[in-house]
């Protein structure tokens, strides 16, 4: 299978690209190499894939020095003409769109970045799928779409009409746009709502990095809502293995969908929404305690109120995904934190 993976220098995109090429799939990987966080981490990720810094300076296709079945190109998905040229020169069988402007809090102060990447870029990608007859489209959504919902675990059959950040609103918009293209053009679209992903090569704006670095440096950890927050921490390997299941099983129309009582996560069109989480949320304090235990150091905690855009709890209802794909997450917090800290020390120290 020949796949296009967008956002391939990002956290999830890197891990997915790596496992796909190791399995022998032909992958064309693209990324804008944006500077939302330290871009060196992105360069180091793709170096693991055999793509080197000096080669990425130019927007031309680069073949990996390690994996002959990988080509990388620096492309911004908001650039429609570059994308059209890319699709014209390749016959993709599946597109996995992981490119996006990330970050809940950043969306409050920098809304324009989310419009360009998460809305315009998403439209460009799915339009190319339409125009070049690509029927299998997988894309990243987010647990953030559940917004003000208080019923937990979060279930895909529940409504998500009340997001509380522009980031979440952009992801919800992606789901709506995907349904339109499934209905009008028969594109099989699958949206994946990821829950608090962590692991090696994780972003430096995420809790795992921020907490680990602060503990090692002996600096206070900012613990919001006075620590009264539940997070469904999900290890990166479980996320990627879930994506692989979806790639191999494109969305189908649902025979159970009822237009008089519509379920938001499926349709008469070949459209599907799934949660991918650990389905075992823990208190933020317990995650910090696991880091303390692994590091052999004590954290200094600065208790703060809830931040705008944050949700108090995330908890993935996973029955739909587990029943469809015979899949369960395997990595618990203790094992995941151990693996993450081992990588963190090797990479940063």
CATH number, residue 31: 3.40.50.720
In a domain? residue 55: yes
Q: Which residues share a beta bridge with 5? A: 29, 96
Number of domains within the chain = 1
Strand partners, 114: none
What does the buried/exposed string (b/e) look like for 68-80 if buried means 16 or more CB atoms within 10 Å of the residue's CB? Answer: ebbbbbbbbbbbb
Give the residues across from 26 on adjacent strands.
2
* Helix residue ranges per DSSP H, 186-262: 207-217, 236-248
C-alpha distances (whole Å) from 301 to each of 218, 238, 338 are 10, 29, 21
pLDDT tens profile 150-182: 899 999 999 999 998 888 999 999 999 999 999
Residues whose CB falls within 8 Å of the CB of residue 334, separated by 6 or more in sequence, listed in order? 290
Query: How far does Cα 206 stand from its chain's mean position?
Result: 13
Which DSSP category does 349 fall into?
A: -
Given the residues 67, 167, 235, 340, select the one marked as catalytic: 167
Considering the domain boundaries, does residue 145 fall inside one? Answer: yes
Does residue 114 contact residue 21 with C-beta atoms inside 8 Å?
no
pLDDT at 208: 96
Structure-token match 């339409």, residue found: 130
Task: Give the tens place of pLDDT for each residue, 270-296.
Answer: 999 999 999 999 999 999 999 999 999
310 lies in some domain: no
CA distance 219 to 10: 27
The answer to whether position 284 is within a domain reads: no
Q: Note whether residue 56 is domain-resident.
A: yes
- 260 as an active site residue: the answer is no
What pLDDT is recorded for position 53? 72
Find the domain containing 96 and state its range. 2-202+233-277
The series of mean pLDDT values per 10 residues for the chain, 349 residues long, is 97 98 98 89 96 74 96 95 97 96 72 83 97 97 93 94 91 97 98 97 95 97 87 97 98 93 96 97 94 97 83 91 95 97 97
Predicted pLDDT of residue 58: 62
Q: What is the pTM of this model?
A: 0.95
Res 36: pLDDT: 82
Say if 30 falls within a structural domain.
yes
């Amino acid at each position: 299978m020949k796949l296009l993976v967008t956002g391939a220098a990002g956290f999830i995109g890197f891990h997915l690209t790596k496992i796909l090429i190791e399995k022998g799939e032909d992958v064309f990987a693209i990324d804008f190499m944006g500077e939302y966080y330290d871009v060196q981490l992105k360069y180091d990720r793709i170096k693991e894939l055999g793509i080197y810094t000096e080669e990425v300076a130019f927007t031309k296709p680069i073949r990996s020095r390690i994996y002959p079945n990988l080509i990388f190109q620096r492309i911004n998905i908001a650039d429609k003409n570059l994308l059209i040229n890319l699709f014209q020169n390749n016959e993709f069988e599946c597109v996995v769109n992981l490119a996006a402007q990330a970050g809940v809090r950043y969306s409050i102060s920098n809304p324009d970045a989310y419009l360009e990447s998460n809305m315009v870029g998403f439209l460009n990608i799915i339009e190319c799928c339409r125009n070049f007859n690509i029927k299998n489209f997988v894309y990243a959504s987010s647990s953030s779409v559940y917004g003000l919902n208080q019923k937990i675990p979060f279930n895909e059959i529940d409504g998500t009409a009340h997001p509380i950040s522009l980031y979440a609103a952009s992801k919800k918009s992606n789901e709506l746009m995907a349904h339109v293209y499934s209905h009008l053009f028969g594109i099989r679209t699958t949206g994946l709502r990821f829950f608090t992903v962590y692991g090696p090569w994780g972003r430096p704006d995420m809790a795992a990095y921020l907490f680990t670095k602060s503990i090692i440096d002996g600096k206070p950890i900012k613990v919001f809502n006075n620590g009264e927050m539940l997070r469904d921490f999900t290890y990166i390997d479980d996320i990627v293995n879930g994506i692989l299941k979806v790639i191999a099983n494109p969305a189908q129309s649902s025979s159970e969908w009822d237009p008089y009582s519509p379920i938001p996560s499926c349709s008469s069109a070949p459209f599907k929404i799934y949660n991918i989480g650990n389905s075992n949320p823990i208190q933020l304090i317990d995650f910090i305690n696991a880091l303390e235990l692994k590091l052999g150091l004590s954290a200094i905690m600065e208790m703060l109120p809830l931040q705008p855009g944050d949700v108090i709890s995330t908890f993935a209802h996973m029955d739909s995904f587990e029943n469809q794909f015979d899949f369960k997450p395997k990595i618990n917090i203790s094992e995941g934190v151990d693996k993450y800290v081992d990588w963190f020390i090797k990479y940063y120290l």
